[in-house]
Amino acid sequence: MNNLNPINYKIHLEPDLNRFKFSGTTEILLEALRPVHEITLNAKELAFWACAVLIDHEFVKCPFSVDPQKEEIKVFLPKEMDGKTVLNITYLGDINDKMAGFYRSRYRTEGKERFCAVTQFEESDARSAFPCFDHPAKKATFDVEMVIDDELIAISNGPITGEKNLGDNRKLVTFRQTPRMSTYLLFFGVGEFEFIEDRAEILIRAGTMPGMTKHAHFALAFGKKALQFCEDYYDQKYPLPKLDLIAIPDFAAGAMENWGVITFRENLLLHYPNITSKAGEQRICEVIAHEIAHQWFGNLVTPSDWKYLWLNESFATYFGYGAVTHYHPEWDIWAEFLHGETHKALDRDALKETVPIELPGGGHVVINASTAPILYNKGGSILRQVAGYIGESSFREGLRYYLRKHKYACASSSELWEALEEVSEKPATTMMKSWIEQPGHPLVEVARDVDKLVLTQRRFTYLPNESDQAWVIPVSIKIFYESGDSQQITTLMTNKSTHVDISSNTVAYKVNYRQGGFYRVKYREKDNLQELGKRILSKDLLPPEDRWGLQNDLYALVRSGDVSLGDYLNFLSYYKEEDNFLPLISIAGNLFHAYLVLEGTQRKKVASVGKFLLEKVLSRIGYEPDRDTKHTTSILRDHILV
């Protein structure tokens, strides 16, 4: 396949929702970079009628063979060919019930069971709907047309350009040609879709099953905002004339970023006034923003191989939060990023059997409970780290440069680092290779030697390891002086050990200030933790992120056996007046975990500390929410009570 490049696909489909079958014809304009005598395409669970190649303005039938194990069809050409040619293939397929490929989704309307047919192609299921070069690097344009029943609606990536009545209660629907894109981003659907829309420069629609559009206004309104945020941040206009947000009854993924037609689980798009919680509203916004960010990161610029999938998911995770906080700063969304993304990633990544962000291999990627926290959560956290290191302005300009340079094409991790390095003039490549190409994350141990801090690093895992790994770590330190003043120091830790000069009148130091880095910290001197504890009590001297990080790192060290449970429980005394969501929800989770895994006297100690701290919290926030309660407070209350 490496010597063949697709240029355009013309796809004709005739789905039958009564028999759950479809027939199709795919015509591929392709280019052979050197003479070939056969063409191999990806194909899965399709029954082929005929294959033909265009020779001297006429289609000539070709023999072919199918290999189900390899998911391939091989077409044997009548003569050796090079340059551009056209291949025509006719076939049949099933509209399956597997929520992958071209599948049927069931719903009820007016008490009757109905079906729509939609697609879910990421990462390698386009081949089950049409024969193709099913790899992200094999980009092409797509012309789609469908024959459907008159009363149904057809959807694809582009807007409808024509409908032709065929006279037998069927119609032919044609769509505008797509931009150059990967096969996994193609979408087609047919069913009783209903829409609400916002007509501006870009047509934005929210689509649902019959009678549900009244619940799509919230999503439509935020989708418009998220699209504007991305256009402004990336300095790159959304390149399609329309964007659909479609709620699908049966949908395996949370959502899918098909270019121009984003699909969602119904509960992640539909909003029920006075029923959907504040946390539910936030989740809807996060998912919409995540998928709209993909329209640039993943769709406009696509990973050149599946090993670079993190370029899609990490950026969408990071900018999903960025778009939401832009319009809802009152939601404290970055606090939830630390709790929901960074903490989850640190926890998963502390297992000895973990995976790097840049997955080895690349031919096939499985996103599951093992890999998702690394690709999405850790990847997004590493982007937050690099943005903090090179500066938000350089980060933004570097991404703009990257998108301009590679739009409608493919890129790898190294090309992203080169763009960031070009703009920031900082060694982004050297730093980031150590974070994405190897599994795990470091523990930075801090010891004071009079007027300097000695920093050493080793891989952090809950169970003992013999790793000799090292990372290039951006370290930010908040120094507190006897005078009451403070200072922030930053350094790039390029070796396994380094030192930072400090003043002799330093009384305390907080490493990983504002928790911008993806690593754990251990302090050798207990008196430093005590001094930091005093600043936790005062609240205004340490921001919530650091109050979260200090106790969260300490509990991770309990789990790894580096410190005692007693040290952690004693340190929690500094949180007796804590009122911020971020450290409190972490403390509640850590105490709950300890209570589950311990027994006897230790469990009783955990229960006693938890009762003392969390009852004080509940007495402040109440046991029942009211209309003016912040949604983070509601989340905290639910977390404690459960």
Residues tagged active-site: 291
Residues 630 and 330 sit within 8 Å (Cβ to Cβ) = yes
Residues 6 or more apart whose Cβ sits within 8 Å of residue 373: 344, 345, 347, 348, 349
Neighbour order of strands in the sheet with 473-481: 486-493, 473-481, 506-511
Compute the CA torsion angle 175, 180, 184, 190 (nearest 10 deg). 0
- Write out the two tokens for 328: 């809802």
3-state secondary structure of 537: helix
What tokens does 389 get? 């290191």
Long-range contacts of 62-67 (CB under 8 A, 24+ apart): none
- 551: three-class secondary structure by DSSP: helix
CB distance 402 to 301 below 8 Å: yes
Task: Give Cα 481 to chain centroid, integer Å.
Answer: 41
Q: Please state whether the peptide bond connecting residue 353 to the residue before it is cis, i.e. omega within 30 degrees of 0.
A: no
In 3D space, the residue among 114, 105, 107, 144 whose CA is nearest the CA of residue 126 turns out to be 144
**Per-state percent for the chain, helix, strand, coil, to nearest 5:** 35, 30, 30
Q: Residue 252 CB: number of other CB atoms within 10 A?
A: 12
* Cα 282 to Cα 190: distance, rounded to the nearest angstrom: 30
Query: Could you tell me the sign of the dihedral formed by the alpha carbons of 595, 585, 280, 157, in that order?
Result: negative
Write the DSSP assignment of 137-195 as a string of letters.
T--BEEEEEEEEETTSEEEESSPEEEEEE-SSSEEEEEEPPPPSB-GGG--EEEE--EE
Chain centroid offset of residue 286 CA: 10
Alpha-carbon span 125 to 343, nearest angstrom? 33
Q: Are 85 and 32 in contact (CB under 8 A)?
A: yes
